[in-house]
Structure 1
């Protein structure tokens, strides 16, 4: 039996929508969701296009995981807890094998991160996936880009540069060890959305976002929204030891500053809250590094060990 839009949705995706708060989910003209009192609804959407955001020959399970996780990262940056999502899927053909693998991986990740599919759309065309994520955050507690103040410390979670380095996987003829290749592949297709970290930063961070387009570009968004600037200490950038061995120092630094696709959180902390953040880092509750300060002087500047200004040609990924 051939698949039409409705049978495709029912067979492959309806089971992903069973969750608390779903009054009416997949299968109707719209979803009905129960928003608890005292909570704000956080909504974010991302579109991934074959040949732009992932290789044309990428496996369907890899595509599913990347599509959901990069969107979850936006909710993490706002300190939100994911609850529901919608899926708009454009397919060249209704391939049963492809859909089986894609939907199984999507269901696994949706279960892992606690979000249910509550609606969406399918259509024919070049392969593309749009996911709209919805989450909850206590009223007045959401992290935004506009709350930073001059003198706030700039932090970033985890390590930087690996997302950009992972793009080397798609360069023909590149030789990498099996361990490095697998690590980079996982960083590209299965980035870890920093959801727990985002929740812990509520009430401590003054501003936050996720590093998707590149550290300089994304920190620039915080600076612009807060009408400030920033100074970054290049020696403080958190880099994995194995990454430093993968390429020349300038190349690795470029990956960390401008490469993007890391999906770590960049956040600012007022001096009054610094002890709280440092305490969590010391206790192992938070993996993060202080990399600079927000300044009254606009613009994002990079400073080397000698205190000299370093010019960086490329700030980050540009969508157009």
Structure 2
């Protein structure tokens, strides 16, 4: 089963309206006058990072990719929960660095002992009016805040754009009220623009 087929199968389940038909990387929950944005990503050895990668870099990347999903909704982070394979002090140090850098508190999580290593993170944020991925219309222009291809370029050398991506939280908050649709680019501009157009 491919990822697309799996997501299509999930769409047959009872879905909350805030799941947006599983067409977005984040879900939203409106509670009173506040909208919460929730997202979860997992990263695995051999898929998202190489064996032997510094655990501090793994921790940074784990949190950063989730904060990037919040940025795509113009959300201010409230906190994160971590699901982690038992690791060492370097993983904790990497968590400390990324959480301090973006002023995001740890809310909790879970640990497990398994090989190869798999890590998960749930990020929660708040937003005034999160732009959907599905809001793009014919005639809209596409704008990008970062350097396209930087992570791919740095993949070969384990460079910073690959190991320690920088979520664009302030840009997301500034742009959210001015755009019809917004998403982070994780699989290249062409593929992700196509996904936005189809959403």
- TM-score if structure 2 supplies the norm length? 0.80
- SS state at 2:131 partner: coil
Task: Give the whole-Å Cα distance in 2 for the aligned partners of 1:100 and 1:168.
Answer: 26
Q: 1:122 — aligned with what?
A: 111
Task: Summarize the alignment of residues 83-232 of structure 1 with structure 2, pairs less than 5 Å apart.
Answer: 83-91=78-86, 98-126=87-115, 127-138=117-128, 141-169=129-157, 185-225=159-199
Alignment partner of 1:132: what SS?
Answer: strand
CA contact (8 A) 1:83 1:114 kept: no
Gaps of 5+ in 1: 1-34, 92-97, 170-183, 226-320
| 1:208 match: secondary structure | coil
Normalising by structure 1, we get a TM-score of: 0.51
Structure 2: give runs of 5+ residues left out of the alignment: 1-29
**Partners in 1 of 2:34 and 2:182 — Cα distance?**
19
CA distance in 2, matches of 1:205, 1:81: 17
Q: Looking at CA atoms only, which structure, 1 or 2, has the larger radius of gyration? A: 1
Deviations 1:86-129 (A, max 9, x none): 111123xxxxxx52121122022112212211121111112111
1:54 shift after superposition: 0.3
Root-mean-square deviation over aligned CA pairs: 1.6
The CA distance in 2 between the partners of 1:159 and 1:85, in whole Å, is 26
Alpha-carbon separation, structure 2, partners of 1:137 and 1:159: 25
Helix, strand or coil for the counterpart of 2:173?
Answer: helix
How many angstroms apart in 1 are the aligned matches of 2:37 and 2:153?
Answer: 31
Aligned residue pair count:
169
CA contact (8 A) 1:78 1:208 kept: yes
- Greater RCO structure (CA 8 Å; 6+ sep): 2
Alignment of 1:1-320 (within 5 A): 38-91=33-86, 98-126=87-115, 127-138=117-128, 141-169=129-157, 185-225=159-199
Structure 1 stretches of 4+ with a deviation exceeding 6 A read: none
